Chains A and B, each alone.
Chain A
Amino acid sequence: MSGNGWAISAHGLTKHYDKLVAVDHVDMSVANGSVFGLLGPNGAGKTTIIKVLTGLSDITEGSASVAGFDVTKDPMHVKQRVGWVAAEVILDDDLSGWENLWLQAKLQRLGDWKERADRLLDYFELSDRRKDRVGTYSTGMRKKMEIALALLHQPEIIFMDEPTIGLDPNVRRMLWDLITGVNKQFGVTVFLTTHYMEEADALCGRVAIIDHGKFVAVGTPSELKSRVKEDFIEIETSEPVTVDKLQAIPGVSNVRSQGNTWILRVSSAEVVLPEIFRALQTDGIRRINVEKPSLETVFIDITGKRLDQSGGDVQDYRKFYMNLRRARR
């Protein structure tokens, strides 16, 4: 464990890719033994933060310390103390589960790892498939194998990049249980990124909301949710509507537009909805969506947009093509 009680700390952390500012002066402290979530849309800079904290990518400006070691000055010591679970599940499909563990042990320079590997395979219920090539594993098994690899060298911190992206609800639920179990049973600090609100809410002790490379809010899920006590109503109409008309509706405290969609901040959706229908009856309401206070409404409140409508830059392309290649393979 790192000495000062922080598994990760960063000051003014900044990463540029040519002219693109992927991470913009981020400060953070993640306590030992906690589960910290980085919540944000695709392309917000979540993966880049993992890359710079694990020494995979250089820091442009600022500093970061992971497991008590400076990421820039001492990356090899950081790498001995962190595990990594990729968004797209990266294993060597030509090797068996046991061979993947063997390779991980070699790369982490472990001298005595077989007993721990055996127990990890037992824990993740993979023992009976240990000799099979991981290319034949199901998606859930591959994810579990990846977490076993990440835990083999007894890391202090596990970085999980969108651990449940693209998984069906059952596998996602199983992974949530596993992530909680890994944190509690093995005392490992978990740093995860996600763009699923419910995931951050269910798993994380603390959450940072990131947008365009900046932390826009940090706190426990309940602290963040308490920032926004009002409901949000999202409306799409077939006819143009003016801001004044929407602001005049009783109970509407704030109006923002996002393309053809309006986002109204209201005291109580139940009370205001009939007023909206009355006011907009001639404007052709095409779609209406109500958000009760949640991390989603916090995100809308801070950024003025929904999580699933944000972002979309270079990182998205990379992930998309990575998944496409995997599917073709």
Chain B
Amino acid sequence: MSTATESVTLPATVVRLGDGRVGQMTQFYGLYARELVKTFRNPWVIVITLVQPFMWLAFFGGMLSQVPSSELDQFLLHAPPGTGYLSFLLPGVLSTGMLAIGMFGAMSTIQDKRFGFMKRILITPTSKATVYLSKALGSATRGLVQIPVMMAAALAFGVTLHGNALGWLASISGLVLLGVGFSAFFLAITASSTDWQTPGVISNFITMPLMFASGAMFPTSIYPKWMQDIASVNPVGFSAQLSRDVMTYGQFSGSDLTYLAYLAAFAVLMIAVGTALASRYLKVE
């Protein structure tokens, strides 16, 4: 082996960006970019992310869209007459889709722990909080891929989309905040886990109640009182209603800004609590 005996000149010093915010942003950017690069190099992750909401639209929406329109109008209550069920369902599916995206972030974190990569990260001057934030925002970003694909699918199914630019901005922001909030929540409660099965179990546990105890699939006015109580604080419902007002009804109003503020508070709270929990409990292996 000749390499070790050959002379080599390395640059004498490497420049450091410092311990402050610039340095932390550099670390965050590195880890965040890694999350996205790895995702888009794995087509199956994309397929799984996209297929589930698409199936809801196709099967669930397809089934109920066969209900005669007069009965449907009565069922959907406050919706303008003639609103098809698919139009009603699309914002709901986009919102419930944000429930599951944290699962992929949690699985990616567990993979890093089990294959030792978390050690490689944490043996550098990178804080656990930075690792957590990169994972949470990475998985939220990955989940947003659903939005344009779902829109295209809905258009293909014959849904008419309404709304103005400001409304759409608010609607997309609401979905982003919902995704960030649930991704942050998911990663926080799996921070100390190293078991592959944990994210799936938790996902099953939280997805069903939060999906149905919201206005995502049906109008909440048909629910029993206890489900309405859950729906009244469920961020999935707020996001679904915001997007529905914009996309389906074309009626962006002041109450939608309240929904948006609520979703922002949810995301900020989840990130803050999650960062504190992960800083303490994120396991190295």
Contacts and interface: CB of A to CB of B under 8 A. Distances in A.
Interface of A: 54-57, 76-77, 79-80, 82, 84, 86, 88, 90-92, 94-95, 99, 102-113, 115-116, 119-120, 122-125, 152-154, 173-174, 177-178, 180-182, 185-186, 318, 322, 325-326, 329
Contacts, number: 128
Contact of B23 (A54, A102, A109): A109
A141 to B, nearest CB: 12
Contact of A90 (B4, B6, B42, B116): B116
Interface of B: 1, 3-11, 13-19, 22-23, 26-27, 29-31, 34, 37-38, 41-42, 114-117, 119-126, 284-285
Given A102-B30, A103-B34, A106-B26, A112 B125 contact: no
A123 B2 CA distance: 10
A55 B5 CA distance: 33
A86 B119 CA distance: 9
Contacts of B23: 109
A111 B20 CA distance: 14
Residue of A106, A115, A152, A180 with highest tally of chain B CB at under 10 A: A106
27 contacts: A54-B123, A80-B16, A84-B120, A86-B116, A92-B38, A92-B117, A95-B38, A102-B30, A103-B30, A109-B16, A109-B26, A109-B27, A110-B16, A111-B17, A112-B11, A112-B15, A113-B14, A119-B8, A120-B10, A153-B14, A174-B1, A177-B1, A177-B5, A178-B1, A178-B4, A185-B8, A325-B114
Contacts of A124: 3
Nearest to A322: B116
Contacts of A90: 115-117, 119-120
Contacts of A94: 37-38, 41-42
A204 B85 CA distance: 74
B8 A122 contact: yes
A56 B27 contact: no
Contact of B3 (A112, A115, A123, A325): A123
A218 to B, nearest CB: 25
Contact of A56 (B1, B4, B16, B122): B122
Contacts of A112: 11, 14-15
Contacts of B13: 154
A92 B120 CA distance: 10
A109 B125 contact: yes
Contacts of A76: 19, 125
B124 A107 contact: yes
Contacts of A181: 3-5
A323 to B, nearest CB: 11
A109 B4 CA distance: 28
Contact of B15 (A54, A55, A84, A110): A110
A92 B115 CA distance: 9
Contacts of A182: 4
B4 A80 contact: no
Contacts of B11: 112, 115-116, 119
Contacts of B123: 54-56, 79, 82, 84
A173 B42 CA distance: 37
B119 A56 contact: yes
Contact of B9 (A104, A119, A325, A329): A119
Contacts of A116: 10-11, 14
Contacts of B8: 119, 122-123, 185
Contacts of B285: 318
Nearest to B29: A106
A325 B115 contact: yes
